[in-house]
């Protein structure tokens, strides 16, 4: 089936939805890192620990997404081995590999950019939605985005995953063309 490149593929929508569901765990994990650093900073009476906890809290989503990605593919490789691409190979071990950390890093980027863009888009509609909507959204945001914001966030995330897919496909095409040129020499 021919699918237009400007419409996110089903895989992009699935990645965006899974990332949306993971936001609950990601925000909890980030809060845990932040609370631990805050406790450590108060206990040791050293402000450097607060800074360190802030950095760890900001980077925690990368680790959480990487581990979830790794364990998900461990499960899929065990029970559905035929869906895995042979070029990637089977997932092994307890700790994530390079591909899982890439997914974690890109997922973190998708979360940040989708959140910022959706806030910007929704700010354009601020007069129509009323201030109570924004107060509720920002004061109760604990990993889940509600209502229209959730829809806008998911659409932006799906387009970012579509962009990643198109870039990877383009890189594979260039690599394939270069390999075929080397064989013809």
Tens of pLDDT, residues 67-117 = 988 888 888 777 776 666 655 666 677 788 888 899 999 999 999 999 899
Is 106 part of a structural domain of the chain? yes
Is 99 part of a structural domain of the chain? yes
Is 1 part of a structural domain of the chain? no
Angle (CA) 133 138 144, round 5°: 100
Is 185 part of a structural domain of the chain? no
Please give the average per-residue pLDDT across 2-29, as a whole number.
Answer: 86
* Among 111, 138, 136, CA closest to 21: 111
Query: How far, in Å, CA of 65 to CA of 96, rounded?
Result: 10
Q: Find the Cα–Cα–Cα–Cα dihedral 110, 111, 112, 116, rounded to 10°.
A: 100
Residue 143 DSSP symbol: S
- The pLDDT of residue 171 is above 90: no
Is 103 part of a structural domain of the chain? yes
Above pLDDT 90, what percent of the chain? 22
Is 140 part of a structural domain of the chain? yes
Q: What is the DSSP string of the chain?
A: ----TTS--HHHHHHHHHHHHHHHHHHHHHHHHHHHHHHHHHHHT-THHHHHHHHHHHHHHHHHHHHHHHHHHHHHHHH-GGGS-TTT----SSS--HHHHHHHHHHHHHHHHHHHHHHHHHHHTHHHH-HHHHHHHHHS-SS---HHHHHHHHHHHHHHHHHHHHHHHHHHHHHHHHHHHHHH-
Of 53-57, 110-114, 131-135, 146-150, the range with the highest mean pLDDT is: 110-114
Q: What is the pTM of this model?
A: 0.76
Is 42 part of a structural domain of the chain? yes
Q: Into how many domains does the chain fold?
A: 1
- Structure confidence at residue 120 as a pLDDT band (50, 70, 90): confident
Expressed in percent and rounded to 5, the helix, strand and coil fractions of the chain are 80, 0, 20
Q: What range defines the domain where residue 83 resides? A: 10-173
Give the pair of three-digit tokens for residue 143: 């990993």
């Amino acid at each position: 089936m021919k699918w237009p490149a400007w419409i996110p593929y089903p895989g992009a929508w699935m990645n965006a939805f899974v990332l949306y569901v993971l936001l609950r765990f990601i925000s909890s994990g980030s809060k845990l890192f932040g609370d631990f650093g805050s406790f450590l900073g108060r206990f040791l009476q050293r402000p450097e620990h607060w800074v360190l906890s802030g950095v760890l809290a900001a980077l925690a989503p990368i680790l959480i997404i990487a581990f979830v990605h790794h364990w998900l593919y461990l499960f899929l490789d065990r029970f559905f081995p035929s869906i895995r691409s042979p070029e990637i190979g089977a997932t092994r071990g307890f700790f994530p590999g390079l591909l899982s950390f890439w997914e974690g890093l890109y997922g973190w980027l998708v979360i940040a950019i989708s959140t910022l863009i959706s806030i910007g888009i929704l700010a354009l509609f601020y007069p129509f939605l009323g201030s109570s909507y924004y107060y509720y959204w920002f004061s109760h945001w604990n990993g889940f985005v509600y209502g229209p914001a959730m829809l806008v966030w998911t659409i932006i995330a799906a387009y970012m995953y579509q962009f990643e897919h198109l870039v990877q496909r383009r890189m594979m095409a260039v690599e394939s063309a270069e390999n075929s040129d080397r064989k013809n020499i």
